[in-house]
Amino acid sequence: MSENGGRPGISQFIIRWLIRTGDYTIVIILMLNVFILINKELLVFLAASLLLLLTDIILVISSKKSQRLGDILAHTILVRTGARGNINETVFMEVADSYIPVFPQIMKLSDKDINAIKSILDTSRKKGDFQLASMASEKIKNHLKIDTTLSPFDFLDTLLKDYNYLSVK
């Protein structure tokens, strides 16, 4: 995409591809060397291509936006659009159809709150931090006016199950 956030223009594509020729030239030259003798012009061309490739590597590693030379000259940025997370990093969990929600008040909370509960539960489990889970569960109990004797971990787990069941039904 263009550095200004828009769609790149034709000139930007051309600039990117012209500068990128250094990457492809090395492969082509190495393939041609199998069939023809190396001459002086070919070595100069190969050296220039290697220099462009080395420049790109250094720029990608050192630049703030990880841009190569063609991107800098064309004022473009590569944007990764694929999601890197997995289903375990979301609040989603499978809940049986026969499940009976214990705390329907959970639906009063926002998606941001539910994500925070999941994050707190995961962090407190990973670090064995009972106090973090306890503080979060007390705060939620007070906010939703819930009275329960469940342990903090069980309470937060039940909230997430309730949310998953009720948000799908």
- For the segment 15-48, what is each residue's pLDDT rounded down to a tens digit? 888 777 666 666 666 666 655 556 677 677 777 7
Block residue for tokens 């499978």: 94
Q: Note whether residue 80 is domain-resident.
A: no
107 with 162, same domain: the answer is: yes
pLDDT at 141 over 80: yes
- The model's pTM: 0.51
The domain of 156 spans 87-168
101 with 155, same domain: the answer is: yes
Q: Note whether residue 4 is domain-resident.
A: no
110 with 143, same domain: the answer is: yes
Q: Note whether residue 64 is domain-resident.
A: yes
The per-residue pLDDT for 95 is 86
Q: Note whether residue 25 is domain-resident.
A: yes
The per-residue b/e assignment along 152-162, b for 16 or more CB within 10 angstroms, e otherwise, is: beebbbbbbbb
Q: Note whether residue 110 is domain-resident.
A: yes
Average pLDDT score over residue span 116-136: 92
38 with 94, same domain: the answer is: no
The per-residue pLDDT for 117 is 93
Nearest by Cα to 162 from 111, 120, 100: 100
Q: Is 41 exposed, middle or buried (0-12, 13-18, 19+ CB in 10 A)?
A: exposed
Tokens encoding 87: 């289903």
Instruction: Tell me the residue type at 162.
Output: D
> How many angstroms separate the most distant Cα atoms in the chain?
85
64 with 92, same domain: the answer is: no
